[in-house]
Structure 1
């Protein structure tokens, strides 16, 4: 894509909430991107949900709100299908003035975790399953979208309904075309259990690319929905009495020869697989803030509602948080089922893969796999029960300190505490307006 031929294009980095922060720059900037000529304050990646500075942030008050340098990621410039005019999007990461990766940049956090796999000669292969809900947000409450075929609002869920997929075919045609143009490997799409809820799966690939794809896909879905007269949301719980949006992550690990280190030719998998499972289970309660980063996230975490609430695992069991899917042993993998759709993909994969590596490093052993209904078990470690408790646990946990840089932990906790305080001043029935298209 020839950026010089464009009047303007967009350079963007990912903040702690997963929102795009950056600048519109003239086409003449194309040749300057690799030099660090595009700058912005380091504090921009540590703002709250509304984009406000964090009170008493060390990034502002300890450094005088210093600038950092933006550098392009490995991702090529791409079109912006949700805009009407010609433009391009260039994903960037933030660095300090000495060229070092900025420690509170979520993409750098994932790269930091993956470096431990690289040191062993391993590559993580990951894929995501992403749920979202199409809605009508034109009134004071979120409502079901209008069926384009009959002009009436949807009145029920339609699990795996081809009629519902056909009704929204123009939107999905544009979604697949936009994903292809942006290099996002979207695969299957289905109608899900919620009213106006859909799921799109991504083809597996290197973990950093998988996080990039998930981040870009969320913006694509939201932008194209507006073009079709709707809103799209990845809120964990758009409706109080309907299914919530989740995001499942599948991952396996290949050695230097391309062999799956989880595969021993049998259904149970290798010791390394069980070590990784044990690490994920051990870190899960303190990772609640990553899996459920917003107040609305905790409305989804209800027993029996297809959202795992306890640190349990099992083979071919969809009631547990960590599932080992069946199928050919060469494809043996871990499915992490805890996160809501409202997560930051880079932080999610950092928490999951970082915990798995701790399990391998410490040769942790998991609990007994659950064979039945995990929701019926009352003696399992649970996720945090509310937003405030999740912040406290994330801040103090020694496993989180092994996964994330201290600066990112500090910034994340300050951000969430500021958001908790602000939401306390907003009438509860209006909270959805802040989350709808920001998460």
Structure 2
């Protein structure tokens, strides 16, 4: 409450939690009632955490009529109040997560799912260190065709991608300056920004941190911030996996290492190859990858990104310093030895994505599983095992995968499957343009 008391100009607050699709669900509350919400929480129906991408109830879900659409209790996360710099009036955001009325964590809450994985690490005296890289497009969606917005500096539209172009960054300098200021105000550890291969496409990296829940919070809040700030500038920002057919898509890569109780990186063996535990973590991620693809590519549009020769992985393989594989071991000093997981699109729920990766890695460490040999060369051309190629296949692989129940509780698995099967059914009724309009702002 201290932050809110220091910002007396704030008249309203938003309380919000991430549903299974990562969409913010919440309420608007007058600031004079904020202390009651902060100390006593608020209530949503459990079913709100399990809506489809249109915001509709899941048909035949036990969370709806079978239980009388009963309420869960939502309490503030450790984050506390945050500013919402993209809104015109001074406003505070209070991130919340769901519990049962008796105080037990609600298993269907994606943030609780990540907390459960982190607790598995803690029980072994281990701490994951996480960083994310988020790609997004700035888009003029005012007409029938999506295109890059005109530069506020020159009034011109760039027609192609410009990798690592300072000119492309400087064209939107005011936007990025405000974005960095907003990240600082929201305690989001935004690091380097670059221009990417698509027109109006950019990537912003987060700093490594030893709090996986905060890393997921940061990614979730960053997506909300970028989209809101872009709209205040008169254009859209989208983390949609593939908004343009002919250009590269948006990814959300994750780098991670693991510290022991003494603060040592367990992936470090003093040399370039990394330790046995690094290989075990790689093996765990590879084994769970077919089943967890639905987490990394949760939407119909996600599979337009996962195609050969498009700078997104399609093969279930790993390598050292090779960006064609699903798992890459970047070149670094031994103490910074880490794994880069490159499968997820920008359209993911960050809580589920980080939970799936860290959970799979810990499975491998626990089982001391050995991976196949790291590959060399182009992973697209070596006849390697492939990720599920369609949304429907990914749904069924998720349902059948024996590794998933070790990571997620049964209720979340069942809720996610019901959600994705309902979306798959109704998405078939939409044209490509209608799908784009749906995904552009929601994911």
Equivalent residues in 2 for 1:169-318, closer than 5 Å: 169-205=173-209, 206-318=211-323
State the secondary structure of the residue aligned to 2:255: strand
Write the distance in 2 (CA, Å) between the matches of 1:401 and 1:274: 22
Does the C-alpha gap of structure 1 residues 36 and 405 become closer, same or farther in structure 2, counting only changes over 3 Å? farther
- In structure 2, the partner of 1:78 is 82
Q: 1:164 aligns with which of 165, 168, 185?
A: 168
Cα deviation digits, residues 314-352 of structure 1 (max 9, x gap): 111111111111111000001001110100000000110
- In structure 2, the partner of 1:335 is 340
Q: Is the CA contact (8 Å cut-off) linking 2:196 and 2:203 kept in structure 1?
A: yes
Q: Is the CA contact (8 Å cut-off) linking 2:50 and 2:57 kept in structure 1?
A: yes
Equivalent residues in 2 for 1:350-389, closer than 5 Å: 350-378=355-383, 380-389=384-393
Write the distance in 2 (CA, Å) between the matches of 1:70 and 1:398: 31
Write the distance in 1 (CA, Å) between the matches of 2:367 and 2:429: 44
Q: Is the CA contact (8 Å cut-off) linking 2:107 and 2:412 kept in structure 1?
A: yes
4+ residue runs over 4 A deviation: none
Normalising by the residue count of structure 2, what TM-score does the alignment of the two structures yield? 0.97
State the secondary structure of the residue aligned to 1:286: helix
State the secondary structure of the residue aligned to 1:238: coil
Q: 2:33 aligns with which of 26, 29, 34?
A: 29
State the secondary structure of the residue aligned to 1:88: strand
Q: Is the CA contact (8 Å cut-off) linking 1:36 and 1:69 kept in structure 2?
A: no
Q: Is the CA contact (8 Å cut-off) linking 2:41 and 2:76 kept in structure 1?
A: no
Aligned length: 438
Q: Is the CA contact (8 Å cut-off) linking 1:247 and 1:341 kept in structure 2?
A: yes
Q: 1:413 aligns with which of 417, 425, 440?
A: 417
State the secondary structure of the residue aligned to 1:32: helix
State the secondary structure of the residue aligned to 1:251: strand
Normalising by the residue count of structure 1, what TM-score does the alignment of the two structures yield? 0.98
Write the distance in 2 (CA, Å) between the matches of 1:280 and 1:423: 30
Q: Residue 264 of structure 1: CA displacement? A: 0.8
Q: Residue 176 of structure 1: CA displacement? A: 0.3
- In structure 2, the partner of 1:2 is 4
Write the distance in 2 (CA, Å) between the matches of 1:76 and 1:260: 30
- In structure 2, the partner of 1:44 is 48
Q: 2:354 aligns with which of 349, 353, 372?
A: 349
Q: Is the CA contact (8 Å cut-off) linking 2:137 and 2:238 kept in structure 1?
A: yes
CA RMSD of aligned residues (A): 1.2
Unmatched segments (≥5 aa) in structure 1:
none
Write the distance in 2 (CA, Å) between the matches of 1:232 and 1:43: 28
Q: Is the CA contact (8 Å cut-off) linking 1:285 and 1:381 kept in structure 2?
A: no
State the secondary structure of the residue aligned to 1:91: strand
Write the distance in 1 (CA, Å) between the matches of 2:63 and 2:389: 30
Unmatched segments (≥5 aa) in structure 2:
none
Q: 2:126 aligns with which of 122, 127, 135?
A: 122
